[in-house]
Amino acid sequence: MDVKSQQTSSCPIEKVVVHPLVLLSIVDNFNRVAKDTSKRVVGVLLGSSFRGIVDVTNSYAVAFEEDDKDFSIWFLDHNYLESMFSMFKRINAKEHIIGWYSSGPTLQENDLDIHQLFHKYVPNPVLVVIDLEPEDLEVPTKAYYDVEEVQENATQKSQKIFVHVPSEIGAHEVEEIGVAHLLRDVKDATISTLATEVSGKLTALKGLDSSLREIRSYLDLVVDEKLPINHEILYYLQDVFNLLPNLNVADLVKAFSVKTNDMLLVMYLSSLIRSVIAHHNLIRNKMLNKEHEKAEDAKSACVAASSGK
């Protein structure tokens, strides 16, 4: 007969929000320490918690080693962890230790033991497992917290287990601007500038399409009275609509037409110039080949005349 269990404690954590700076820091740590190896990297997560939402805004790596054959043997540098946190605290006193991260990509056997260590620094720590080599475009983070599980059978002791909590990638406006500039500067040398610009336009259009679909879905739910009316959201949507151009104005339509014609004219002139240059190079190449043939014929005639004498 299977032994049933129940959780005796509930956790106030409802969601974990990971900021881009944390992901960049973890990727940098992994590339420096464990790239092309079977090792994983471990570090401390800093941030704040409010009303069940854990906001992970910063992180730093910690020296970590474990035995591949026996996961119960592991080492984490406590002194380095505490000294680094004291320095971070001088910079930003609002950031506290809220848990730790692992490059995973899945939970390991000794994660519960490591998790118990962080109860020393925070009453309810979180574990964020980062998949640094995801196979799809889903969120690469998985968050967990631990609870006490008590067996109904009194002869068995209670034990800690991990419980999954939803996680997402979030950023402040300043971080979004910084990440946008960073991605704009990261260029692949094997891809042309035109292909990069087209790819960027397609990505932007896909993002716009996704946002418009989300807005439409929200408005449909409001119309069907499945969601309450939020005037703040409606004000933002009204601002968006006010920024849209009024295509019923004749002057605006004419301005768009003139702008489009100017761009098409430039493209047309560029095509003509390229064609003229191509024809010029073709004619020049034929003339050079003809002169080369004449020189070869003259040389052959001289050789023939010399041999005849």
| Per-position DSSP letters for 34-66, written without gaps between them | TTTSS---EEEEEEEEETTEEEEEEEEEE-EEE
Residue at 144: amino acid letter: Y
Would you state the pLDDT for residue 155? 62
Look at residue 121 and tell me whether its pLDDT is greater than 80.
Answer: yes
Give the Cβ contact number of residue 89 at 10 Å. Answer: 14
pLDDT tens per residue, range 279-299: 999 999 999 988 888 888 888
Q: Please determine, for residue 185, whether its predicted confidence score (pLDDT) is greater than 70.
A: no
Give the mean model confidence (pLDDT) for residues 153-168: 79
Give the chain's length. Answer: 309
| pLDDT of 11 above 80 | no
The three-point CA angle 127-131-132 to 5° equals: 125
**Token pair recorded at residue 302:** 């001289």
8 A C-beta contact, residue 42 and residue 74: no
pLDDT at 6: 36
> Please, which pLDDT band fits residue 136 given cuts at 50, 70 and 90?
low
**3-class state of residue 129 by DSSP:** strand
Query: Does the predicted TM-score (pTM) go above 0.95?
Result: no
Quick: pLDDT tens for 168-180.
888 777 777 776 6
Residue type, 102: S
Q: Mean per-residue pLDDT for 205-226?
A: 89
Q: For the domain with range 5-174, which CATH number is right: 3.40.50.460, 3.40.140.10, 3.40.50.720, 3.40.50.2000? A: 3.40.140.10
For 33-45, write each residue's pLDDT tens digit.
888 888 899 999 9
Q: Give pLDDT tens digits for 41-99.
A: 999 999 998 888 899 999 999 999 888 888 788 898 889 999 999 999 888 888 999 99
Q: What is the pLDDT of residue 297?
A: 85
Confidence of residue 309 (pLDDT cuts 50, 70, 90): low
> What's 59's DSSP letter?
E
